[in-house]
A and B are shown apart, each in its own frame.
Chain A
Amino acid sequence: MPVFKATLRSVRAYITTIIIYFVVFAVFGTMTSRMNAGISDTRYQDVQLEVAVIDNDHSDLSEALTNYIDKTQKLVDNKTEDPQELNDNVRFDIYDYVLVIPEGFSESITADNLEYYSSSDSASGYLMTEKIRTYITDIVVYLGSGYSMDEAISLTDAQTLENETTDVSILNETGTKQSSYLSGMYTFLAYSLLMMLSICIGSVLTYLAENDIRNRIAVSGMSFRSRYIGLISAVLVIGFILTISMTVFTVLTGMEDPTINKIGYYILNEFALMFVGIGIAYFISSISHNTNIINMLSNMLTLSMAFLCGVFVPSELLDKTIVAASHFMPLYWYVQATTYINDHALGQIFSSDFISYLLIQLLFAVIFFVGGLVISRKKEQYAI
């Protein structure tokens, strides 16, 4: 009991670390998950781009064009007219597209006067440019064929509206596999949870690894067994509390997620990751007893894994060799399991695939633990 209590008490020293990573999770986890969350849908929907229009012409034509964009896309505030800043805004996704309509545009439509900004050769830039080109071409053709400007605009507007109803469907067999808010949260959670566990538990373990303290406890007349039971149960309690608190936050913010009924599987997976975290903590604490270095190693290990295993950057975007290499890291299997839960219907999740993902994680936890054990033994042997 004394070891149990002392271990829990020493975690208090790392409360700032816990808060920092929790806030990172709470803020960025929710932010990215909300941004990327989509509902798997069998109904087709046009992508709506965020477009800023700078109209320096204020003619009927320029207003009609703006109006057209407003109706089919999402018109946003450009906030600036500085070319560099406009360019940076489209490059960094503040909005997708900027259209600049110069003064006198309606007098010389085909003088290549319209100017647009999009992230170099983005697909959205191509799409939006095509839409504008079609719209203006219609106007030009109508004007050239003897219509007035008003007629040309109303005809063009009418036919673009009519074309919106073009027949399209999504293939049922494939369906879209958008990632849900929950799956986004549980993916991001991996980073924060591993950081918290490896830093806090890693640092707490150093207290007890200090030779003097260990010897003092050893001579205290407490049995080896009760000492280690105290230590292990304290570590597990810390792990449980951290793990549960992240799930509580995720559930509270994800109540409206339609896949909330899968939460049990996500939690199961998260607990597998908890053991990995504890394993890493033990491993790192065996390498160094300096909390500063523990902090650093945790950062290096967890951050790298998070990048390579698809926590920050989806695996599909990573290089093939990297994805292959990441099979040798526990986080990869955690992310795989999360994706698996997301992509399968509730009844289909519990499968040999899913179980093997969990088991592989536990295996990694054991590997880290044994690794730590070997290092501490060697260190004792050579008294480093």
Chain B
Amino acid sequence: MSNIISIENLVKRFGEKIAVDHFSLHVEEGEILGLLGPNGSGKTTTINCLLSLLQYDKGDIQIFGKPMSPDAYDIKSKIGVVMQNIAIVDTLNVYENVDFFCGLYINDKKTRQQYVEEALEFTGLTEYKKYKPKKLSGGLLRRLNIACGIAHKPKLVLFDEPTVAVDPQSRNAILEGIRKMNREGTTVIYTSHYMEEVEELCSRIVIMDHGKNVANGTAAELKASLKNRETIRIGIPNLSDDIIHQVKEINHVYEAVRDEDNLLIRCDGGEHNLVHILSFLSDSNIPFGHVSTEQPTLNDVFLAITGKELRD
């Protein structure tokens, strides 16, 4: 696998404020890379620098192994962009919009026609072909925004928060579409502050905060970096300090606390923790009621790394 994008030590300042702070990133072919971070963490700025829309203060950006510049047309022709805000021409209808933006990349009329049709099909807009953007709902507009960005079948697509303010149905359609594109060989960079989306979609995740790359890995790897891997909650009617003390002795349990009638047990790894705990309770003839376990989320990862919630 080869590096499609390599960003080394990117620095971008807006006056006194550092928006991107020595940020490095490598994306390999075939990946869906999730760029996760709270609002204002520098995701969009990084994307704009990557696309050579923004001048940056320091750093090196290479795409497809070549340095990226405003005039690097051969690189640009292989990139698709789906902006955070809707970027279409109001006065052109759906088909014309896709054709217009696709036309900036594809010269051959026949190929373009085919690509445009495919993009419309892909985003489920075929039946809205003749509609003016004004007549489309918010979700359909987002889909049109995507169709305009991907119609030319780019090798690399940047999605900048494509699902902001989109209904669940459209969101699922969009995510499914991205997966399909990826299966067909497209490398994807996906920025979002919705961690479920990123977790579900991305093969690798980079967490950004204050312009820095604070964590990097698959969802599982990131979670594995946490001490807390599993939280088990068991309802025990006659919970005594003795029981708590004994539970703490079980392998991998590093914390056991009382929460009203419940016992909260946190484990730092290992397998079959629940089985071990439950068999201990049965063996000791301790009656227990409901049992639930919680896996850590990316939010927990983010919380652990930055000390704040992702959705601030």
Are any A and B Cβ atoms less than 8 Å apart in their complex?
A: no
B residues at A contact (CB < 8 Å):
none
A residues at B contact (CB < 8 Å):
none
